[in-house]
Amino acid sequence: MEWVIGRAGDRVHLVGHSFGGLVSLAVALRNRVELASLTILDAPAIEILPQRNEHLHYRAMRRMTDAYFKSFHDGNAEAIAAMGDAGEATLRRCLDDANPFVRDMATQALFMRSVRQESAA
């Protein structure tokens, strides 16, 4: 991730969802690349909570996570749907909606980069 950001030619707005949110948080905390902003959604970064004295929230998250793993190990293949606040259908719709948006944003970023490079030449 840092390699890609470093080649953007400018500060970037880094957005991460779920495990990508954890990766984005790690990039920001390492501070090896300059970010314009950081947005994290549903990142599984619960180990940060006790470090910030958020023990109540940490225990609640641990209980929810432990219940998920127990349900999954007991044979409930749909256990993961309970981990989201809106259910599996909403998650699938969000992913379907996000894919064209991400493609469009990447295309625009590449176009803007080429315009900057042409202007600099």
Residues 38 and 8 in one domain: yes
Q: Tens of pLDDT along 51-80?
A: 878 888 888 888 888 888 898 889 987 777
Q: Tell me the torsion sign for CA atoms 17, 20, 22, 27.
A: negative
pLDDT band at 85 (very low <50, low <70, confident <90, very high): low
Residues 70 and 80 in one domain: yes
Residue 93 has pLDDT above 70, yes or no: no
- Chain-centroid distance of CA 118 in Å reads 32
| Rounded Cα gap, residues 30 and 24, in angstroms | 10
Residue 11 has pLDDT above 90, yes or no: yes
N-term to C-term CA, the chain:
27
Residues 6 and 40 in one domain: yes
Number of folded domains that form the chain: 2
| Rounded Cα gap, residues 33 and 7, in angstroms | 10
Residues 13 and 31 in one domain: yes
Q: Tens of pLDDT along 15-52?
A: 998 888 888 888 998 899 999 999 988 777 788 888 87
